[in-house]
């Protein structure tokens, strides 16, 4: 029998989470996605949940910050106690402290009785401070104290009270920029971001869109099992190509609208585009860059330079697209081309044509090349299907 020498020492290292572990955790807490970004967030949540460490969740509006906060609470030792969510940005500044810390009777006009604040109500549990970046400086001082000591005073009282809560905060603002602008206390910022979980916008994890769509459709089917709505492949592609400025919240709202208004139908891309907000002329699904940590003059110069550079790149791409098309003749179209389109006389490119006329010819040629398959044509033109649909309508090519 082998024995272990007394001098031997071992370092405990927790096993790496398996795919099954992650999937089970995601199902239990409603975290949808298989992208690398989401899996990393799931691993972080599983690590920090058993502790009492303060967590700061950052990300654009609608990305699902509260979903992550609830998952941390439910996976923690405080899961049996209350989870109190507070939207700091939705509470008027004049009553925010009263809502958070409570008040005594007669503390202000209308205070007809003493009242507990959210920190007292959440005692023993978790408080989620959403939009923490919108709190005024005077309130931030008191938040810092309660984070460090657990002590606070109700409005209109001189009595120190204590509470035992875990704090999870969230914001869609750049708090470092807010600190530099002196709109957010530096000491509170560092106290909050013991662990920082950033949730990427939906446009940065498009591989999760189909999973989210199916999850939202399944929610609808549970409420109304008789609804046989379905989404076609080109409809799903249209959803994947959208920029989703409202993120997951916008996608959920769209699916809920489809479920009610397109009941029992097969929804295709044309239907999807009716529900998506229209693009302004010259607008694309690509979001504009945001210059952080720069003066307005520096940011403006950077954006202008980037716009000029992208314009030059776009012109080069158009040249690459037009060059092979100029070489085409109607006879040169492949056998799979649309015969009706191929037999029509196609104007030659010349210097008298406008860019719009050249664009129309180019789109006609590519559509013919792919036998009218708009998805393949859009891919060959390096534009979104939504843009191609719009161009087809504008040029009367349908």
- Regarding predicted confidence, which is higher, 10 or 300? 300
Claim to verify: residue 230 and residue 218 sit in the same structural domain: yes
Show the domain range for 228: 203-275
**Pick from 90-104, 108-122, 267-281, 331-345: least confident:** 331-345
108 and 23 share one domain: yes
Q: How far apart are CA 31 and CA 33, in angstroms?
A: 7
Reported confidence tier of residue 313, pLDDT bands at 50, 70, 90: low
149 with 33, same domain? yes
Same domain, 260 and 227: yes
pLDDT at res. 388 = 82
Answer whether residue 192 is part of any domain.
yes
220 and 72 in a single domain? The answer is no
Residue 117 lies in a domain: yes
Same domain, 32 and 154: yes
pLDDT for 164: 96
What is the C-alpha separation between 386 and 384, in angstroms, rounded? 5
- Average pLDDT of span 81-89: 95
Judgement on whether residues 118 and 134 belong to the same structural domain of the protein: yes
Q: What is the mean pLDDT of residues 126-138?
A: 95
Q: At CA 309, angle to CA 306 and CA 312, rounded to 5?
A: 150
pLDDT digits (tens, 9 = 90+) for 39-54: 999 999 999 999 999 9
CATH of the domain at 211: 1.10.8.60
Report the pLDDT value the prediction gives residue 319, as an integer from 0 to 100. Answer: 55
d(C-alpha 12, C-alpha 232), whole Å:
50
Residue 334 sits in the same domain as residue 242: no
Helix, strand or coil, per DSSP, at residue 246: coil
Whether the pLDDT of residue 104 is over 50: the answer is yes
Task: Flag whether 322 is in a domain.
Answer: yes
Collect all residues with Cβ–Cβ distance below 8 Å to 319 and sequence separation of at least 6: none
267 lies in some domain: yes
Does some domain include residue 13? Answer: no
Buried b (16+ CB within 10 A) or exposed e, 295-322: eeeeeeeeeeeeeeeeeeeeeeeeeebb
The total number of structural domains that make up the chain: 3
What pLDDT digit, counting tens, does each position of 21-34 carry?
889 999 999 999 99
Q: Would you say residue 178 lies in a domain?
A: yes
Q: Is 113 helix (H, G, I), strand (E, B) or coil?
A: coil
38 and 151 both lie in a single domain = yes
* 143 in the same domain as 88: yes
Residue 304 in any domain: the answer is yes
Helical ranges in 60-208 per DSSP H: 65-74, 93-101, 118-121, 137-149, 175-180, 186-192
* 164 and 129 belong to one structural domain: yes
> Among 133, 167, 200, which residue terminates a domain?
200
Q: pLDDT tens digits, residue range 144-192?
A: 999 999 999 999 988 999 999 999 999 999 999 999 999 999 999 999 9
Residues 73 and 38 in one domain: yes
Kindly tell me the number of DSSP H helices and DSSP E strands found in the chain: 17, 9
Answer yes or no: is 73 within a domain. yes
Out of 228, 243, 275, a domain closes at 275
């Amino acid at each position: 029998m082998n024995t272990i020498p007394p001098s031997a020492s071992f370092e405990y290292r927790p096993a790496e989470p398996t795919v099954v572990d992650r999937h089970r955790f995601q199902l239990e807490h409603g975290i949808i996605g298989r992208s690398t970004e989401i899996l990393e967030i799931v691993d972080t949540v599983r690590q920090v949940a058993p502790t009492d460490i303060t967590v700061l969740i950052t990300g654009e509006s609608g990305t699902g910050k509260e979903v992550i906060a609830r998952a941390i609470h439910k996976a923690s030792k405080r899961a049996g106690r209350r989870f109190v969510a507070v939207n700091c940005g939705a509470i008027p500044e004049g009553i925010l402290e009263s809502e958070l810390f409570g008040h005594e009777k007669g503390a202000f006009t209308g205070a007809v009785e003493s009242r507990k604040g959210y920190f007292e109500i959440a005692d023993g549990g978790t408080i989620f401070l959403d939009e923490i970046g919108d709190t005024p400086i005077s309130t931030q001082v008191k938040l810092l104290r309660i984070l460090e000591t657990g002590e606070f005073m109700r409005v209109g009282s001189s009595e120190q009270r204590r509470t035992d809560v875990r704090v999870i905060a969230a914001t869609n603002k750049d708090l470092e920029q807010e600190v530099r602008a002196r709109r957010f206390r530096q000491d509170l910022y560092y106290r909050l971001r013991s662990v920082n979980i950033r949730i990427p916008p939906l446009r940065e994890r498009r591989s999760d869109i189909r999973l989210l769509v199916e999850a939202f459709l399944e929610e609808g089917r549970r409420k109304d099992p008789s609804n046989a709505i379905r989404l076609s492949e080109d409809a799903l592609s249209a959803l994947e190509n959208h920029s989703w400025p409202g993120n997951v919240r916008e996608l959920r709202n769209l699916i809920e609208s489809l479920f009610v208004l397109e009941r029992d139908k097969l929804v295709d891309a044309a239907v999807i585009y009716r529900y998506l907000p229209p693009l302004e002329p010259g607008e694309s699904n690509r979001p504009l860059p945001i210059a952080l940590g720069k003066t307005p003059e520096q940011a403006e110069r950077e954006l202008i330079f980037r716009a000029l550079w992208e314009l030059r790149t776009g012109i080069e791409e158009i040249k690459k697209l037009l060059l092979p098309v100029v070489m085409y003749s109607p006879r040169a179209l492949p056998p799979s081309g649309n015969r009706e389109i191929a037999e029509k006389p196609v104007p030659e490119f010349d210097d008298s044509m406008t860019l719009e006329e050249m664009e129309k010819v180019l789109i006609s040629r590519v559509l013919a090349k792919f036998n009218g398959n708009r998805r393949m044509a859009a891919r060959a033109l390096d534009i979104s299907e939504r843009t191609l649909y719009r161009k087809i309508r504008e040029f009367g090519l349908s």
